[in-house]
Amino acid sequence: MSGTTQGKMQLSGRGLICVRGGREVFSGLDFAAAAGEAVSVVGRNGAGKTSLLRLIAGLLVPAAGTIVLDGGDGELTLPEQCHYLGHRDALKPALSVTENLTFWADFLGGERADPAETLATVGLDHATHLPAGFLSAGQRRRLSLARLLTVRRPVWLLDEPTNALDVAGQDMFGGLMRQHLSRGGMIVAATHAPLGIESRELRIGGVA
Amino acid sequence: MTALSALVRRDIRIALRVGGGALIGVLFFLTVVVLMPFAVGPDLALLSRLGPAILWLGALLASLLTLDRLFMADHEDGSLDLITMSRTPLELACAAKALAHWLAAGLPLIVATPVLGLLLNLDMVATGAVALTLLAGTPALTFTGMIGAALAVTLHRGGLLMAVLVLPLSIPVLIFGVAASQAVIVGPMTFGAPFSILCALSLVSLVIGPFAAAASLRHGLD
């Protein structure tokens, strides 16, 4: 994927309707994010922030509407070009920090960075051989962030990304997001706390 | 290929570590077979007649014991979301997970069979026949059981349902596995016919299992 195609990338959704368990979560939702832009999805609890992220990630099927990524890699589907960072961190407690990270790097494939370097970036280089089961909540979150850095994907879908991170961790994460955007990446984040970077606000389901 | 081998290696590694569950199946198998001679009594002729059936029943139940966790663990910690989104087709990922499960939980059962054959008064040839039929038949148990494991994720807390769904599918495997072993021990049937059918059952399940499991997982996305 060359830098020129990334420059023209745009992620957009039109007329999205999401139905879960027979209840309409939201309807007629439109959004757009161009390369280098972040969208922060805000709304009260249960407004459908997570549902929107899962729609983009292809983990839910919209009742109506379309989501497209213009200017992306034509041979890959939208979910294949996304990183999804959800409430559950996809870490195996029995495996060490390095084993967890290298597994996802090998499995997800594509362009990748050195896992040892990204672990240093997120501040876990002292714990590489520790089983993930011994990590604190904040350290687990840092390890999940290392996955986003190790495997390159243009779109980051983040669900409450700053949860469990300490102040220094939030600063570090803010820097990482800015770096991702400056490379032409896109971020869609569901959040209650301020994201720490400049972002366009997308409000779902009335006033919070 | 790197993606699939990474998945196989990860699953085997998790299964073999403490609390991973690979040894639970073997321990269950050992317990069932070791207790059987005490329940049946010291009639050696009867024991060797029942031997293949006991070994097969033990192996069947042992391989189903840990199978319901095949996708559940990945579902609970969110790994399944990432696997679904990835560039690897879900069918192949399912096949890789089943292969890893068979290597970690099915193969040890076959390795343990010669030892347990001694307890059931089976001679070398009979033990070899049972081990060979298990080698040919247990992949079928894993790959059909995988369908039930995928449904258990979709239906939430479907552990019991899985046993109900999967056991009928494993009956043909049991019938032909025991028939082939008995053919070697007492005759008069030939070994070839039931053994070929057993191999065919395994090959069919290798093809159908991953597709059915992947379809079930995709349908159950939420």
Segment A22-48, tens digit of pLDDT: 888 888 888 888 888 889 888 888 888
The CATH H-level superfamily of A10-193 is P-loop containing nucleotide triphosphate hydrolases (3.40.50.300)
* Residue A63 in contact with partner chain B when CB distance is under 8 A: no
- CA distance from start to end of chain A: 39
Reported confidence tier of residue A200, pLDDT bands at 50, 70, 90: confident
Q: Where are the domains of chain A?
A: 10-193
Residue A143 reports pLDDT greater than 80? yes
pLDDT of residue B157: 65
Determine contact: A109 vs chain B, CB below 8 A. yes
Strand order in the sheet with A82-85: A82-85, A155-159, A186-190, A38-42, A200-203
CA distances from B186 to A204, B44, B51, B110 (A): 73, 14, 12, 22
Please tell me which residue of chain A has the smallest CA distance to B19: A94
Confidence check: pLDDT of B44 > 90 = no
Binned at pLDDT 50, 70 and 90, residue A2 comes out as very low
- Which of B14, B79, B84 has the CB atom closest to A59's CB atom? B84
Considering chain B, what is the average pLDDT of its residues? Answer: 88
Residues B59-116: tens digit of each pLDDT: 998 888 888 888 888 888 889 999 999 888 999 999 999 999 999 989 999 999 998 9
Residue B129 has pLDDT above 70, yes or no: yes
Closest CA of chain B from A61, distance in Å: 8
The answer to whether residue B194 scores a pLDDT higher than 50 is yes
CA distance, residue A100 to nearest chain B CA (Å): 9
Chains A, B: CB contacts within 8 A come to 82
Q: To 10 degrees, the CA torsion angle through B26, B27, B32, B33?
A: 60
Would you say residue A206 has pLDDT above 70? Answer: no
Chain B touched by A103 (CB under 8 Å): yes
- For the entire predicted model, the pTM comes to 0.89
Find the residue in A nearest to B84 (Cα).
A59
How confident is the model at residue A21, as a pLDDT?
A: 82
- Tell me the average pLDDT of chain A: 86
pLDDT at A3: 44
Q: Which residues in B lie closer than 8 A to residue A102 (C-beta atoms)? A: 6
Interface contact A59-B19, CB threshold 8 A: no
The backbone region for B161, taken as left when phi is positive above 0, alpha when psi lies in -120 to 50, beta otherwise, is: alpha
Which residues from B are below 8 Å from A108, CB to CB? 3, 82, 86-87
Q: Does A163 touch chain B (CB under 8 A)?
A: no
| A90 CB within 8 Å of a chain B CB | yes
Label residue A109 left, alpha or beta by phi (over 0 means left) and psi (-120 to 50 means alpha): left
Asked whether the beta carbons of residue A94 and residue B20 sit closer than 8 angstroms, the reply is yes
The minimal CB distance from A109 to the residues B3, B13, B19 is found for B3
Chain B residues in contact with A20 by the CB 8 A cut-off are: 222
Is B198 a residue whose pLDDT tops 90?
A: yes
Residue A5 confidence (pLDDT) above 60: no
Q: Both tokens of residue A117?
A: 């370097």
**Contact: B13, A90; criterion CB under 8 Å:** no
Q: Do A82 and B83 touch (CB under 8 A)?
A: no
Q: Which two tokens stand for residue A204?
A: 């779902």
* A79-106 confidence digits (pLDDT tens): 889 999 988 888 988 899 999 999 999 9
The helix (H) or strand (E) run that includes residue B2 is helix B2-16
Residue B56: the pLDDT is 92
Is-cis flag, bond preceding B188, omega within 30?
Answer: yes
Chain A positions in Cβ-Cβ contact with residue B83 (cut-off 8 Å): 107
Give residue-wise pLDDT tens across range B205-215.
Answer: 999 999 999 99
Nearest neighbour of B3 by CB, restricted to A58, A89, A107: A107
